[in-house]
Structure 1
Amino acid sequence: MAEGVVAEGVMACAGGAILTGWALYLGCGPFWVGLLGALPFLAQLMQLPGAWLTSRFGARRVALLTVLFSRQAFLPLVALPFLPLPIEVKRGVLFTVAVAHHGLGILCNNAWVTWMGDLVPTRVRGRYFGRRTAISTLAGALATFTTGTFLDGARASEYTGPALAALAFTACVLGALSTALMALKHDPVRHRVASPFQAARVLQPLRDGAARRLLAYGMTWNAALGLAGPFFSLYLLQDLKLGFTLVALQGSAASIARMLSAPLWGKLIDRLGARWVLRACVSGLVLSPVLWVLAGPDRWWPIALEALLGGVLLSGHGLANFALSLGVSPARERPFYHAAFAMTGGAAFALASAAGGMLMRLFPPSHLLLGYACTALQLTFLVSALARGFAALLSRQLIEPAIRPQPSGAIASRGPRPMRHPRRADRTEALPEPAALAPAVSPLPPPPAP
């Protein structure tokens, strides 16, 4: 948990918003700013090399080395504003730093997820990550507010360059501290045998019935998010004319809702199972784009309601999705399963974002729908709601291997009751593999979260 708090400080000092600030400071045009924003999704291609490194050298070792270099990649930015270099060279340095940070971060992500799957016992996984998410969300919100205020003050005083350099230096210091805290965690898998790379291991998630269903769900869900998510801030500023302060307030309200609800969702996941929580959350999240459409320049309450409702449901969805992906993945093949979930989900989000931009060009600027005037953005949001509804249907077919179906006679004798988790062993290696349960139940898992 302490490592997660410090990691949020690193992202607040050098995350996507700050890197965009660097791009604007160096005079980058919209194309390069957009490319910088697309790097986290393009970096998902590193999941497969990350899976190989994790299986070859061990999750803990790979996670520590990659997180160290990923969070020290910002060191060149500390001196960048003060060097007498051509502006084109400085832009090249910025994009090299961003590529190194995101690429190494994905390698670390694969190893870290595998490591946590071994380290955190299944029976407390929901509660632990629920608390960790709540604390990290609070730390991230406070750190982001602090860095934003600091940078705004520096811009007003025309010290943007030194302020950005100071944030880069702080990110490196916090990155070193977070690596030291991560090193305190042990590797519960002793005598790990390095296994050679085999193409069959890469394709294993496609042969696993439970994994295939989760892959299909993850691609659909991320595509639904990509259709509308990147344009929500534009909608608030351009169509609703809320202003930056109210946009920040909307984001803060959603973060508070996520923080407060995460521990409760964690307990429900441990009690009822990740599949049931995910199904309930994705069904409610279908309403989010509809609430966006109902809002107007003089009607803000749907946005406020969506911030609270969406924050709560996204918190439960993220935790359940993560727990379900760990439960579906066999311990030995977990790096390759996570690579498959992350790569397909990231690709679906990126392609859907491009498709959303095309849809807004195809739709008329204003259109009457059931007597209600809709803009091109609002029509795109409605398409996203339909895609979310399809994802909700797919979620009903997901399988959670840790839950065993009871004999029909036993269920009938007690009447219809929700299925409970059995007492499970602490070690994830003791769980049955998804393939073993595929014949017993209808044979599908989560995307990355980024």
Structure 2
Amino acid sequence: MEDRLADPIPAAPPIAPGDPPTEDSAGGDTDRTKRSLAYCTAEGMTAEVVTACAGGATLIAWALYLQCSPVLVAILGSLPFLAQIVQLPSALLTSRLGGRRVAIVAFTASRLSLLPLVVIPFLGAELDTKRDLLFAVAAANTLLAVVGTNAWTSWVGELVPATMRCRYFGMRSALTTLSGASVALLAGIVIQRSELLGLEPIALSGLAAVAIVAGLATAPMLRRQHEPEGARPDENGCLRLAAAASCVLRDPASKRLLAYQVAWNAAIGISSSFFALHLLTNLRMGFALVAAQAAATALVRTMATPVWGRALDRLGPKRVLVFCSFGLFVTPLVWLSPSPSVLLWVIALDALTAGTLWAGHSLSAFELPLAIAPREKRPYYLATFAAAGGLAFAAAALFGGVLAQLLPDTLFLLGKPVQNLQVLFVLSAIGRLMSAPLALRVLDPRKPAGAIA
């Protein structure tokens, strides 16, 4: 299952022009930095509990419980990417107030915004009203999370020394993925058992409560991470934001990366919101098996991420991005026609391929923008990347939702039955194959621009 979407490009540190890239500005004294990074990892693992209990397959369970249409499912799935439009004002806010302060407030508010989910199943309201409330909660949670992620990336971009960035984030990504997958597996089992017992409203409400408690637990972990001494507010943020946004289209390196990001996110977006829905409604896998598949994929990601981190250090992020982009072309095709007799083999194959390739793609997509963007304009460059890629994903997801609703449930191609969601998988594979060559044009930040014509 495509448990990883095209990762939004994160924001980066708000650094005043002229600041040299010293180790002190990246992390302060060694002991304090190590302590902060330990809390950073713990906070990430706890935050994954929030996502597992209120997002992903659990959010699909909410959509099915409230009888949402494919278009509404597409909107729900595209919210994290549509919300990337606030990256630009978020970068300005982060530059003015500082990454640490904004991240703590935004993340805490985002996780507390899930509180209405606890009572939605028990409201004596019409189904449409409950759907509207679900979408309002999801939108508020997502928008605040984007603001927090922008500030957090700016903060830890200075906190983690550049020399250990790939290794640290590789390790952190592996641990957070394992944490999220474990909790998602338990959540899937709870939802499936609750369906059999007729207790689905109680289960969904309980999982929302667990998400809120975990979200509250992350607040002190965030506060125990220090603000790097080199980070300071940027009083000229408005002018720098406008200048940097226009510079993105004039800079060859950023322009090529932007073209890839937009095309790739569109290719992913047309189908990503519907993989879990296909497994649950068309293949009748059940939430427990879907969660087990996601956990298996996450386990592969956990093992592959440190390997990819070392590959990035040796080969550079561009080569990893190219390899993973071409490889991910095949993953949606795995689900075209699995019969019940081979379903478990398909699950294993998908977990192995998708888990391995998405691990490398995520790390390289995180590192490339940080390396390409000019240091003094980095927050605004990366906010522009994230906004453009997010809008491309959201537009493609909405198109996929409309197309799925317009198509009949079953079509016949070459005399074989094909379900409407499988058409989206084919379109996604074609889009990936067409956008992957754009990764070849991305400039390698480890080489001079003139050497990579």
Q: Do the two structures share a fold, i.e. TM-score over 0.5?
A: yes
For these two proteins, the number of residue pairs brought into alignment is 407
Aligned counterpart for 1:70 among listed residues 105, 110, 131: 110
Query: C-alpha distance in 1, partners of 2:418/2:135?
Result: 38
1:194 aligned counterpart, secondary structure: coil
Matched, 1:110 2:183: no
Query: C-alpha distance in 1, partners of 2:232/2:383?
Result: 24
Asked if the contact 2:189–2:287 (Cα under 8 Å) also holds between the matched residues in 1, the reply is no
Match of 2:50 in 1: 10
Aligned counterpart for 1:351 among listed residues 395, 401, 417: 395
Q: CA deviation at 1:17?
A: 3.8
2:249 aligned counterpart, secondary structure: helix
Over 3 Å counting, the alpha-carbon distance change for 1:283 and 1:28 in structure 2 is closer
Aligned counterpart for 1:316 among listed residues 360, 370, 393: 360
Over 3 Å counting, the alpha-carbon distance change for 1:246 and 1:23 in structure 2 is closer
Match of 2:254 in 1: 211
Q: CA deviation at 1:9?
A: 1.0
1:339 aligned counterpart, secondary structure: helix
Aligned residue identity for 1:333: K
Aligned counterpart for 1:176 among listed residues 204, 208, 216: 216
Asked if the contact 1:291–1:306 (Cα under 8 Å) also holds between the matched residues in 2, the reply is yes
Q: CA deviation at 1:383?
A: 3.4
Matched, 1:197 2:241: no
Aligned counterpart for 1:367 among listed residues 413, 429, 447: 413
Deviation by residue 1:360-385 (Cα, 9 ceiling, x = unmatched)? 6579811229xx87665555434332
1:398 aligned counterpart, secondary structure: coil
Query: C-alpha distance in 2, partners of 1:83/1:160?
Result: 14
Superposition pairs of residues 40-439 of structure 1, within 5 angstroms: 40-79=80-119, 91-188=131-228, 189-198=230-239, 199-236=242-279, 242=285, 244-293=287-336, 295-300=338-343, 301-357=345-401, 365-368=411-414, 377-401=421-445, 403-405=446-448, 438-439=449-450
Q: CA deviation at 1:206?
A: 1.9
Can you give the 5+ residue segments of structure 1 that lack an aligned partner in the other structure?
A: 406-437, 443-450
Q: CA deviation at 1:393?
A: 1.1
1:365 aligned counterpart, secondary structure: strand
Deviation by residue 1:7-48 (Cα, 9 ceiling, x = unmatched)? 011112222444454455566666655543443233222212
Per mean C-alpha deviation after superposition, the further-off stretch among 11-20 and 293-302 is: 293-302
Query: C-alpha distance in 2, partners of 1:281/1:23?
Result: 31
Asked if the contact 2:79–2:394 (Cα under 8 Å) also holds between the matched residues in 1, the reply is no
Deviation by residue 1:236-264 (Cα, 9 ceiling, x = unmatched)? 45665655554443323212111111111
Aligned residue identity for 1:8: E
Aligned residue identity for 1:259: T
Q: For CA contacts below 8 A with separation 6 or more, give which structure has more relative contact order.
A: 2
Query: C-alpha distance in 2, partners of 1:205/1:331?
Result: 13
1:207 aligned counterpart, secondary structure: coil
Match of 1:431 in 2: none
Asked if the contact 2:333–2:426 (Cα under 8 Å) also holds between the matched residues in 1, the reply is yes
Asked if the contact 1:211–1:328 (Cα under 8 Å) also holds between the matched residues in 2, the reply is yes
Asked if the contact 2:192–2:286 (Cα under 8 Å) also holds between the matched residues in 1, the reply is no
Aligned residue identity for 1:343: A
Q: CA deviation at 1:186?
A: 2.1
Per mean C-alpha deviation after superposition, the further-off stretch among 306-315 and 224-233 is: 224-233
Query: C-alpha distance in 2, partners of 1:30/1:99?
Result: 18
TM-score for both structures, normalised by structure 2 = 0.79
2:414 aligned counterpart, secondary structure: strand
Query: C-alpha distance in 2, partners of 1:388/1:239?
Result: 24
Aligned residue identity for 1:123: T
Per mean C-alpha deviation after superposition, the further-off stretch among 170-179 and 297-306 is: 297-306
Query: C-alpha distance in 2, partners of 1:107/1:375?
Result: 38
Query: C-alpha distance in 2, partners of 1:19/1:384?
Result: 22
Q: Identity over aligned residues, as a percent?
A: 43
Can you give the 5+ residue segments of structure 2 that lack an aligned partner in the other structure?
A: 1-40
Asked if the contact 2:100–2:227 (Cα under 8 Å) also holds between the matched residues in 1, the reply is yes
Superposition pairs of residues 17-32 of structure 1, within 5 angstroms: 17-22=57-62, 32=72
Aligned residue identity for 2:439: S
Query: C-alpha distance in 2, partners of 1:82/1:325?
Result: 45
TM-score for both structures, normalised by structure 1 = 0.80
Asked if the contact 1:367–1:375 (Cα under 8 Å) also holds between the matched residues in 2, the reply is no
